């Protein structure tokens, strides 16, 4: 689906017209994937649009930059405010938000340290990443032949732009084979995560998700599911999972800011069927939280018109 444009993009401290948000072809990040980014969402609430867990996303952006020794020329508070401003000026009720920190134009070669650091923030309306049908009835997953990063090859804790070439390889393989999304294993063979989502199974009434040591990003939606599970009284555990654990799960689902909470319908053609009760309840509570319909989660919302 093509990106739906809005009016303004924040670039290095200024709000520029959408069409003018351009970079030079010799921008370092275009050549070497030298950037870090975030994916955030704003949802409509009774009090206007609200950004979900903005503080945590800004923190992860700065942590990603720190891992790559990229010095962001703004404070976290400035980036936080710039994100709120960008949502506000574009007058959108609901949107995806993409802050990007990237090494810019000026130097080439693999030593990134002398490069200028640029920052942009774009927002646009974006429907459910894995589709409405997937949200309701579940998605069909394939375990990828491509492995997730080893933490000493590319650190999964950082949302580095270049590392998503690995996700793309797996995503394309899954789509070409007729599936919706790929599940990636760690180099050691444990279940890691999906191309842009964390993964969970439900077994005997417990929710289980793989640890970061299996190469998964510490997802903010994953953390929201943890809190929701605690509030619902559903045991939540972080444990290594084998591929066969996916096949025999009572229920399974994936989470991510773009994807939201999406049931898994089948893994490698082993049918799990229609979404189960725990997945449904987590999904329902998550949507109530992001739309400001559940007071327990109000601290997660940053109201844009406040
Ligand atoms: N894993 C990867 C590789 C991702 O790119 C994402 C999306 N940021 C996630 C997991 C889910 O993270 P979050 O819930 O914070 O969006």
Say whether both 110 and 202 belong to one domain: no
* pLDDT greater than 70 at residue 132: yes
For the stretch 204-215, pLDDT in tens is 999 999 999 999
**From 142, 159, 171, 281, active-site residue:** 159
In a domain, 2, yes or no: no
Dig out the tokens for 38 from the structure: 């975030």
Whether residue 136 is found in the same domain as residue 120? no
Q: Is the pLDDT of residue 248 over 90?
A: yes
Question: Does residue 208 sit in the same domain as residue 108?
Answer: no
* 14 contact partners, CB below 8 Å, separation of at least 6: none
| CATH number of the structural domain spanning residue 215 | 3.20.10.10
Which H or E run contains 269?
A: none
Residue 198's φ and ψ, nearest 5 degrees, are -85, 160
Is 39 touching ligand 1 by the criterion CB < 6 Å? yes
Pick the residue whose CA is nearest to atom 10 on ligand 1. Answer: 197
The residue segments making up the domain with residue 215 are: 132-290
Nearest to 196 by CA among 221, 176, 167: 167
Q: Tell me, yes or no, whether 154 lies in a domain.
A: yes
- Do both 117 and 141 map to the same domain? no
| Ligand 1 probe mutation, 196, 209, 253, 258, most atoms within 8 A of CB | 196
- Domains identified in the chain, total number: 2
Q: Is residue 78 part of a domain?
A: yes
Whether residue 37 is contained in a domain is answered as yes
**What's residue 128's pLDDT?**
86
Residues 6+ apart with CB under 8 A from 8: 15, 16, 17, 18, 86, 89, 90
In a domain, 305, yes or no: no
Decide if 303 is inside a domain: no
pLDDT digits (tens, 9 = 90+) for 15-32: 999 999 999 999 999 999
pLDDT, mean of residues 62-86:
98
Whether 190 and 161 map to the same domain: the answer is yes
Confirm whether 100 is domain-assigned.
yes
Q: Which atom of ligand 1 is nearest to the CA of 39?
A: 8
Give the pLDDT of residue 306: 63
Domain match, 39 and 172 both: no
Average pLDDT for residues 126-134, to the nearest whole number?
90
Q: Is 159 designated active site? A: yes
CB atoms within 10 A of CB 184: 26
Position 280 scores a pLDDT of 98
What atom of ligand 1 comes closest to residue 224's alpha carbon? 14
Looking at the fold, whether 271 and 155 belong to one and the same domain comes out as yes
Is the CB of residue 222 below 6 angstroms from any atom belonging to ligand 1?
Answer: yes
Q: Residue 127: what pLDDT?
A: 86
Q: Read off the pLDDT band of 305 (50, 70, 90).
A: confident
pLDDT tens digits, residue range 158-201? 999 999 999 999 999 999 999 999 999 999 999 999 999 999 99
Residue 18, C-beta contacts closer than 8 angstroms, at least 6 positions apart:
5, 6, 7, 8, 9
Query: Is there a single domain that holds both residue 139 and residue 246?
Result: yes
């Amino acid at each position: 689906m093509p990106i739906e444009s809005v009016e303004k993009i924040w670039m290095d401290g200024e709000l520029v017209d959408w069409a003018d948000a351009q970079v030079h072809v010799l921008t370092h990040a275009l050549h070497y994937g030298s950037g870090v980014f975030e994916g955030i969402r704003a949802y409509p609430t009774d009090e206007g649009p609200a950004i979900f867990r903005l503080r945590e996303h800004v923190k992860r952006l700065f942590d990603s930059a720190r891992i790559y020794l990229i010095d962001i020329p703004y404070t976290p508070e400035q980036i936080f405010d710039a994100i709120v401003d960008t949502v506000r000026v574009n007058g959108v009720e609901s949107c995806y938000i993409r802050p990007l920190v990237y090494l810019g134009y000026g130097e080439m070669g693999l030593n990134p340290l002398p490069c200028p650091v640029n920052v942009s923030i774009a927002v646009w309306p974006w429907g459910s990443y894995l589709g409405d049908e997937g949200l309701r009835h579940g998605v069909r997953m394939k375990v990828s032949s491509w492995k997730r990063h080893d933490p000493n090859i590319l650190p999964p804790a950082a949302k580095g732009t270049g590392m998503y070439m690995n996700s793309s390889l797996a995503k394309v393989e899954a789509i070409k084979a007729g599936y919706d999304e790929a599940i990636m294993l760690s180099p050691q063979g444990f279940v890691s995560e999906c191309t842009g989502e964390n993964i969970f199974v439900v077994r005997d009434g417990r929710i289980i998700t793989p640890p970061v040591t299996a190469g998964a990003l510490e997802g903010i939606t994953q953390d929201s599911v943890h809190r929701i599970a605690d509030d619902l009284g559903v045991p939540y555990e972080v444990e290594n999972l084998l591929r066969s654990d996916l096949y025999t799960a009572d229920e399974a689902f994936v989470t991510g800011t773009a994807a939201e909470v999406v049931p898994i319908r089948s893994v490698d053609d082993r049918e799990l069927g229609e979404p189960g009760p725990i997945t449904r309840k987590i999904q329902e509570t998550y949507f109530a939280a992001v739309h400001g319909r559940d007071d327990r989660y109000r601290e997660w919302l940053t109201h844009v018109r406040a």
